[in-house]
Chain A
Amino acid sequence: MLDVLVIGGGNAALCAALTAREAGASVMLLESAPKPWRGGNSPHTRNIRCMHDGPQDVLVDSYPEEEYWQDLLKVTAGRTDETLARVAIRASSTCRDWMRRHGVHFQAPLSGTLHLARTNAFFMGGGKALVNAYCRSAEALGVRIRYGAHVHALELADGRFVAARIGTDRIEARACVLAAGGFESNREWLDEAWGTNERGERPAQNFLIRGTRFNTGVLLRFMLDAGAERIGDPTQAHMVAIDARAPLYDGGICTRIDCVSLGVVVNREGERFYDEGEDFWPKRYAIWGRLVAAQPGQIAWSIIDSKAIGRFMPPVFDGTRADSLPELARSLGLPEEAFLATLAHYNAACRAGTFDHTALDDCATEGVVPAKTHWARPIDTPPYFGYAVRPGVTFTYLGLKVNERAAVHFGGAPSGNLFTAGEMMAGNILGQGYTAGVGMTIGTAFGRIAGSGAAAAALGGQHRAAA
């Protein structure tokens, strides 16, 4: 019989498979996607947030455990689990040599990401290169990988894993790791979770899925129905504002719109609704998905003038361009009068200051609601550009409750041979919010913990059977 079955094919699944194999277990990995789409959301990632007490190859200065924890506490507004968070944080300080051994290469931060030089180690070539390296290493070690393997159900007995079912196929194993992702590409589930808002809209119907099209949450649903303990709120997710023209799935990094803090953002009524200059964009991009989700029609428009050109990461699609604000309103299909009034109030409220996009500068508005507290400059220099944005869901936080051994829980008790890692349990640590690279920290730490736990459960059981 197989020792360890890993269900899922992303970073957490691969870390679990590699670790279990290194511990001497026979391992099979079931990836539901066909090979060209393998890796879940990991191909869309680019770095891992790492604790370190001094400079380490590509990481500068230090990023101590306490600071990492405080950052996590802040972005989740306390909706986290300190014990599990600290397990992941500590693991992040030692995992990179292991990652290198399995073929991952690190590099200095990409252009436009110097703010992450201290905290995040970038994968050379991004997450797909990491997935390629892990798959290659796994196969070299003898892990069997099956693609297009849709597990739709498990056989469980007394809180223990018995077998997985793929159609009429039945795969038994002594232990199992579930790392099959969230449910972000299950649009019915998203719709059910978000329900109807106060305007009578079904907001989730206007969401785009920035992540993989293969995370339909089949196993997550199965496990919740089977009585596994749940964690998290189904509406919480990694959610950013992305170009409304992005493809429905797999838009990934390039669909983000990074000019929000350089201009204003208006909704369908032509009105501003949030402080665009509240903080540095890298600290604020993760809230704008939900902000836009709360607007009528779940759409908004980022408006800039030519002063902003060359100051933000170039967007994947050209913006709508106009030589005057009325023309821009018409081109974007916004109510002209309301839009012009919003821009006129905003422009008049901009206090003269010294513009500095690298600091929290003194360019703020006075007497307009909502205020723009930094980088507020009148939008008055043609040509003007507008980008329509919609909420883009990268991954959902609803998941399975775990302990520090990554064990799935039934009725308050941890399973002896069923473990979970990655997005299926990230909600234990991420109750809401996000900070760059923490998804990979959780996936790598708990993937390895789950893999080693599954190997121990499988091999320990074997020894007992032999004795």
Chain B
Amino acid sequence: MQRLEALIAEASSLAGDEAEAARQLQICNACRYCEGFCAVFPAMTRRLEFGRADIHYLANLCHNCGACLHACQYAPPHEFAVSLPRAMARVRGKTYVDYAWPESLGALYHRNGLTIALLLATSLAAFLALAASRTGQLVGRPLAGDFYAVFPHGLLAATFGIVFAFACLALAIGVTRFWRDLAAGRASAPALGEATASVLDLRFLGGGHGRGCNDEDDAFTLRRRRFHHLTFYGFMLCFAATCVATLYHYVLGERAPYPMLSLPVLLGTIGGIGLLAGPAGLLWLNLRRDPAHREDSQNAMDRGFIALLFLASATGLALLAWRDSGAMALWLAIHLGVVMALFLTLPYGKFAHGVFRSAALLKWAIEKRVPANLKLSED
């Protein structure tokens, strides 16, 4: 009973967005009609009380597909005012801030919006362009695609490497602390495999029936799942292009620019096209989203990240297109500015959702393999 007391004490000490999520979950747990949509509800039914860790776990397990809201007999205007997608989105916002490393930078989530993203990208691009112009290489003379004539390779590798490594470290520390609070236990190989598959195929944007999730109304569509795939796999292909190019550089000793049909350029081009279409589609869906399951306080963060991804791809493709022209150095400065802005905001923006959601999915894959300790009479 002591554990129960502790849970009750913890639950009653919740405040704000966490308390509201707990209130709604208690209603959901007494109803359970939405169990088929996603993992949130089966995970919920394994609990009678919702402490802080449970709420952050369930919130990050939620993919914000909107299905439960449209199906909800207790959604507004019902006085129970259940709107789980929004309640969960608010808690997720708190997860990112609470688990940010270093803690003092957690507040950046609140400010990391579209304006900041664009300002940062613009000022970094301007700074790089200025630096290039100081050496007289910004415009005019075609450099035959020789990026390193503008910025030395070592300088680029060092600055981007450091910023990217910091982003990885910050996210890793954050998600490790999150994982510790989830107390998930050890992941077996099947659990790991299932969680990985859930991340890679976004099955929980499928609605449980495979017809997809809700965008602007109660119709199910696969648009969000597909645009997210384009974005994610586009990003990964671009990342792969960079990795392959690094290998070419250090292992094979081949310097950029690489031919159009070389592996790095092909990967980057295909990925870049995905990373144009995906974010453009996600932004379109974000703007059309049913206001009832769109959390407006997070629009700025979502759109800022989407914009940077889109611009990173657009400027990268532009650089490829004009790499043999006199404008190459200018495009290079712009592209590097955008990518640097993306890397800098990575640990304190929307990118974090992927890391925390993956952790929550892994916990679910572990948890569902353990027999539930509740013995509901009807079973």
- A and B: partners? yes
A residues adjacent to B (C-beta < 8 A): 36-37, 43-44, 46, 105, 107-108, 110-115, 122, 124-129, 132, 136, 247, 250, 252-256, 258, 261-262, 281-282, 306, 309-316, 357-358, 383
Q: A115-B378, A136-B219, A309-B48 are in contact. Are A125 and B1 (CB under 8 A)?
A: no
Name which residue of chain B comes closest to A135, CB basis: B218
**Given A107-B208, A132-B218, A261-B377, CB of A316 within 8 Å of CB of B30:** yes
Complex Cα–Cα for A69 and B33 (A): 27
Q: Are A310 and B374 in contact (CB under 8 A)?
A: yes
| Chain B residues with CB under 8 A of A113 | 378
Residues of A within 8 A of B163 (CB): none
Q: Is B115 located at the chain interface by the 8 A CB criterion?
A: no
Give CA–CA (A303, B288) in the complex, Å. Answer: 50
Instruction: Establish whether residues A258 and B378, one from each chain, have CB atoms under 8 Å apart when the complex forms.
Output: yes
Minimum distance in angstroms from B70 CB to a CB of chain A? 6
- Subset of 15 A-B contacts with CB under 8 Å: A107-B35, A107-B208, A111-B32, A111-B45, A124-B37, A124-B209, A125-B70, A129-B67, A136-B218, A136-B219, A254-B27, A310-B374, A313-B378, A314-B48, A316-B31
Determine if A125 and B71 form an interchain contact, defined as CB atoms under 8 angstroms apart: yes
A315 to B376, CA, bound (A): 12
A residues within 8 A CB of B30?
A: 253-256, 313-316
Interface residue B354 (Cβ < 8 Å from any Cβ of A): no
A311 near B375 with CB under 8 A, answer yes
Quick one: which of B57-88 are within 8 Å of A by CB? 67-68, 70-80
Assess whether A110 is in contact with B32, with CB atoms less than 8 Å apart. yes
Interface hub of B27, B45, B208, B209 (most chain A Cβ within 10 A):
B209
Chain B residue with Cβ nearest A125: B71
Closest 7 CB pairs of A and B: A126-B33, A125-B71, A254-B30, A107-B36, A316-B30, A129-B71, A124-B36
User: Which of A115, A252, A262 has the most chain B CB within a 10 Å cutoff?
Assistant: A252
* Residues of chain B with a CB closer than 8 A to A306's CB: 1
A111 touches B31 (CB 8 A): no
Q: Is B34 an interface residue (CB 8 A)?
A: yes
Decide if B142 is an interface residue (CB 8 Å cutoff).
no
> Quick check: is B2 within 8 A (CB to CB) of the other chain?
no
Shortest distance in angstroms between A33's beta carbon and chain B's nearest beta carbon?
11
Closest A residue to B82 using CB positions: A254
Across the two chains, which residue of chain B brings its CB closest to A248?
B79
Contact A125 B375 (CB under 8 A): no
Contact between chains at A357 and B33 (CB < 8 Å): no
Give the CA-CA distance A44 to B4 in the complex, in Å.
32
B378 neighbours in A (Cβ, 8 Å):
112-115, 258, 281-282, 312-313
Q: Among B73, B79, B211, point to the contact of A128 (Cβ < 8 A).
A: B73
**A262 touching B31 by the CB < 8 A rule?**
no
- Contact in complex: A129, B70 (CB < 8 Å): yes
Instruction: Indicate which residue in A110, A125, A258 contacts B67 across the interface (CB closer than 8 Å).
Output: A125
Contact residue among B4, B73, B78, B374 (Cβ-Cβ distance under 8 Å from A126)? B73
B122 within 8 A of A: no
State whether B36 touches A111 (Cβ < 8 A): no
Q: Which residues on the B side are within 8 Å of A256 (C-beta)? A: 30
Chain A residue with Cβ nearest B375: A311
B29 within 8 A of A: yes
Q: How far is the CA of A250 from the CA of B1 in the complex (A)?
A: 35
> Looking at A37, A126, A247, A383, which has the most chain B CB atoms within 10 Å of its CB?
A126
Give residues of chain B (344-379) contacting chain A, Cβ–Cβ below 8 Å: 373-379
Q: Which residues of A contact B219 (CB under 8 A)?
A: 136
Q: Other than the known A37-B77, A110-B33, A357-B375, what 12 A-B pairs have Cβ atoms closer than 8 Å? A: A110-B32, A111-B32, A111-B379, A125-B34, A125-B36, A128-B71, A132-B218, A250-B78, A262-B377, A311-B374, A316-B31, A358-B379
Q: Which among A107, A124, A255 has the highest number of chain B CB atoms within 10 Å? A: A124
Q: Does B42 contact A (CB under 8 A)?
A: yes
Residues of B within 8 A of A311 (CB): 374-377
| Identity of the chain B residue whose Cβ is nearest the Cβ of A126 in the assembled complex | B33
Are A312's CB and B208's CB within 8 A? no
Say how far B87's CB is from chain A's closest CB, in angstroms: 16
B198 within 8 A of A: no
Q: How far is the CB of B50 from chain A (nearest CB, A)?
A: 10
Query: Please, which residue of chain A has its CB at the minimum distance from the CB of B28?
Result: A254
Specify which of A105, A110, A262 is in contact with B208 (CB 8 Å cutoff): A105
B215 to chain A, nearest CB (A): 14
**Candidate in B30, B33, B209 with the most chain A CB atoms within 10 angstroms:** B33
- B26 adjacent to chain A (CB < 8 Å): yes
Instruction: Specify which chain A residues have a CB less than 8 angstroms from the CB of B79 in the assembled complex.
Output: 247
Would you call A312 and B71 a contact (CB within 8 A)?
no
- Please indicate the chain B residues that have their CB under 8 angstroms from the CB of A127 in the complex: 33, 73
Question: Provided the pairs A110-B32, A110-B33, A136-B219 are in contact, do residues A310 and B375 lie with their beta carbons within 8 angstroms?
Answer: yes
CA distance in complex: A197, B35 (Å): 43
Known contacts A37-B77, A111-B45; A124 and B208 CB within 8 A of each other:
yes
Query: Could you tell me the distance in whole angstroms from the C-beta of B190 to the nearest C-beta in chain A?
Result: 21
Whole-angstrom distance from the CB of B156 to the nearest CB of chain A? 51
Which residues of the partner chain B approach A46 to less than 8 Å between Cβ atoms?
A: 33
The complex places the Cα of A380 from the Cα of B134 at a distance, in Å, of 86
Q: A126-B33, A136-B218 in contact; A281/B73 too (CB < 8 A)? A: no
Instruction: Kindly state the separation between the CA atoms of A306 and B379 in the bound complex, as whole angstroms.
Output: 19
Name A107's closest neighbour in chain B (CB-CB).
B36
**A254 surroundings in chain B (CB, below 8 A):** 27, 30-31, 74
Tell whether, in the assembled complex, residue A126 and residue B71 are in contact, meaning their CB atoms are under 8 Å apart. Answer: yes
The answer to whether A316 touches B27, judged by C-beta atoms less than 8 angstroms apart, is yes
Residues of B near A44 (CB, < 8 A) are: 73
In the complex, which residue of chain A has the Cβ closest to the Cβ of B33?
A126
Residue of A nearest to B209 (CB): A105
B5's nearest neighbour on chain A, judged by CB, is: A383
Docked complex Cα distance between A114 and B31 (Å): 15
Contact of A111 among B4, B35, B70, B209 (CB under 8 A): B35
- Cα A247 to Cα B36 with chains together (Å): 27
Q: Chain A residues with Cβ under 8 A from B29's Cβ?
A: 314
Cα separation A209 to B166 with both chains bound (whole Å): 58
Residue contact A314 to B26, C-beta cutoff 8 Å = yes
Known A43-B73, A124-B208, A132-B71; contact A357-B31, beta-carbon cutoff 8 A: no
Given the known inter-chain contacts A112-B376, A124-B209, A357-B377, please indicate yes or no for A310 contacting B48, CB distance below 8 A: yes
Q: Contacting A312 at CB < 8 Å: which of B1, B72, B376?
A: B376
Q: Within 8 Å CB of B32, what residues of A? A: 110-112, 313
Residue of chain A at shortest CB distance from B68:
A125
List B1-33 residues whose CB lies under 8 Å from chain A.
1, 4, 26-27, 29-33
In the docked arrangement, what's the CA distance between A314 and B31, Å? Answer: 9
Q: B379: which A residues are within 8 A, CB to CB? A: 111-112, 114-115, 358
Q: Select from chain A the residue with minimum beta-carbon distance to B35.
A: A110
Residues A125 and B73 in contact, CB atoms below 8 Å apart:
no
Nearest to A34 among chain B residues (CB) is: B77
Taking each of A122, A129, A357, which has the highest tally of chain B beta carbons within 10 Å of its own beta carbon? A129
Q: What 1/0 mask marks residues of chain B from 122 to 148 whose CB sits below 8 Å from any chain A CB?
A: 000000000000000000000000000
Q: Contact: A36 with B77, CB < 8 Å?
A: yes
B73/A250 in contact, CB under 8 A: yes
Residues from chain B with a CB closer than 8 A to the CB of A108 are: 36
Chain B residues with Cβ below 8 Å from A110 are 32-33, 35
Identify which of residues 235-285 in chain B touch chain A, using a CB-to-CB cut-off of 8 Å: none
Residues of chain A contacted by B78 (CB below 8 angstroms): 250
Distance of A115 Cα from B70 Cα, bound (Å): 27
Instruction: Please name the residue on chain B nearest to A257 by beta carbon.
Output: B30
Give Cα A247–Cα B82 distance, bound, in whole angstroms.
Answer: 14
> How long is the Cα–Cα vector from A428 to B373 in the complex, in angstroms?
44
CA distance A129 to B373 in the complex (A): 30
Residues on A with beta carbons closer than 8 Å to the beta carbon of B77: 36-37
